[in-house]
Amino acid sequence: MGGGSVGGQAGTVPSFRVWAVGGMPEVRDGDDLAKLIAAAEPGLADGDVLLVTSKIVSKAEGRIVEAADREAAIDAETVRVVARRGTLRIVENRQGLVMAAAGVDASNTPAGTVLLLPEDPDASARTIRDGLRDALGVEVGVVVTDTFGRPWRNGLTDVAIGAAGVRVLDDLRGGTDAHGHPLSATIVATADELASAGDLVKGKAEGLPVAVVRGLSHVVASDDGPGARALVRSAADDMFRLGTSEAVREAVTLRRTVREFSDEPVDPGAVRRAVAAAVTAPAPHHTTPWRFVLLESAGARTRLLDAMREAWIEDLRRDGKSEESIAKRVRRGDVLRNAPYLVVPCLVMDGSHTYGDERRDTAEREMFVVAAGAGVQNFLVALAGERLGSAWVSSTMFCRDVVREVLSLPSSWDPLGAVAVGHGVGVPRERGAREAEAFLTVR
């Protein structure tokens, strides 16, 4: 199999060959893969790349385990569920790979057993590379491959899960294309491309677990290199880290009350997206009982907080609190003053019914309050999903007239506290464990 350049330029046309290695025996626990490959493919030369299916690596390393229940084996290999649909699970496994069923394979293994991925695929590749150097005196690259599905694309392909002596990534950033345009984001996953090329000749059912690529010696490195681990995107850079339902659950879990914020500015667009999530909350009579006042300017925040502070102090003095106690309580409100962004959620009763009966009128208002609270919860969770910290503080509820006056709000808007928004400083404290059963009553 060969490959060529594009555009018909004069000169040597780049090409390579790829072929499957025949004559490989059934691999068993304890076998030396390098010796088996050396015996089957004596023609290996410096600069070749060897592509080895992970299944035979796992067999040689004794990764066949007793497992009457494959799901239990998947559980044991899983560190994080990315997405779930029915019995299918996409998970992050103990090797850091995100894939279906944690890479646990129940095919081509004895009944009652499953095959796990190599414990450390990069180390496995290094061992094979060293063994071939010792056996044949050649310097080759080694890629351990496995089959992956891909988001947004149908079908399976082989990718690199382990590598040694291969430049797994080709960073073209800083260069230019054929028309002189700068390349600012192009990083080629060379090891994955090699794995896919090998899969074309190995196949999925032909019993050919090893392939060789020749003619691409420029991708073979003198040292072992970083391995295929360098191909795994970090959590911070992964925009698609979770499936839909898992993302919602994680956002709920991530939501913490943050009381200390950095100076990093808040993206107003992120807050507006959170408001868009907030107003999807359920509400009575097809109403929209929420309004969100966004205090984006420092002047607006200062005017509101100064007026609220004076009202708060006056209330505390009427309660007979000492000046020392008042000062301490006022300092507790600094979470709002220190935040780079404030939001004042408000309740409106537009569309509510009046019954002329105190019991029913009270219940009607309570319905709207509950709906407004649901909107605020949606808002807080959506902020967490935007990686913004927040603190919902009830202070505006104790001086609603002051808030309405300072912010020029209609008299029918009832402030429901204030939400401090920003980028939290440090790692939030772990939330104390709460067992759901403690809050359940079943009839």
| The CATH number, out of the four listed (1.10.20.140, 3.40.30.10, 3.40.109.10, 3.40.1410.10), of the domain defined by the range 244-439 | 3.40.109.10
pLDDT for 422 equals 94
Q: Are the beta carbons of 422 and 391 closer than 8 angstroms? A: no
Q: How far apart are CA 353 and CA 367, in angstroms?
A: 11
Q: How far apart are CA 351 and CA 367, in angstroms?
A: 12
pLDDT in tens, the chain (443 residues): 554 433 444 457 889 999 999 999 999 999 999 999 999 988 999 999 999 999 999 999 999 988 777 888 899 999 888 888 777 888 999 998 999 889 998 877 888 899 999 999 999 999 999 999 999 999 999 999 999 988 888 999 999 999 999 999 987 766 766 777 776 667 889 999 999 999 999 976 678 999 999 999 999 999 999 999 999 988 777 777 777 666 666 666 667 788 889 999 999 999 999 999 999 999 999 999 999 999 999 999 999 999 988 888 888 888 888 888 888 777 766 788 889 999 999 999 999 999 999 999 999 999 999 999 999 999 998 898 888 999 999 889 989 999 999 999 999 999 999 999 999 887 767 777 778 888 899 99
Q: Is pTM, for the whole model, over 0.85?
A: no
Domain ranges of the chain: 17-63+117-237, 244-439
Nearest CA among 227, 5, 263 for reference residue 128: 227
Q: How far apart are CA 34 and CA 131, in angstroms?
A: 5
Q: How far apart are CA 402 and CA 194, in angstroms?
A: 68
Q: How far apart are CA 20 and CA 207, in angstroms?
A: 10
Maximum distance among all alpha carbons in the chain? 95
Q: How far apart are CA 271 and CA 341, in angstroms?
A: 9
- Both tokens of 193, joined, read 């491309």
The CA-based dihedral angle spanning residues 253, 254, 257, 258, taken in that order and rounded to the nearest 10 degrees: 170
pLDDT for 144 equals 98
Entry field: residues in the chain: 443
The CA-based dihedral angle spanning residues 30, 36, 38, 44, taken in that order and rounded to the nearest 10 degrees: -110
| The CATH number, out of the four listed (2.70.98.10, 3.40.50.1820, 3.40.50.1000, 3.30.1330.100), of the domain defined by the range 17-63+117-237 | 3.30.1330.100
Q: Are the beta carbons of 320 and 356 closer than 8 angstroms? A: no
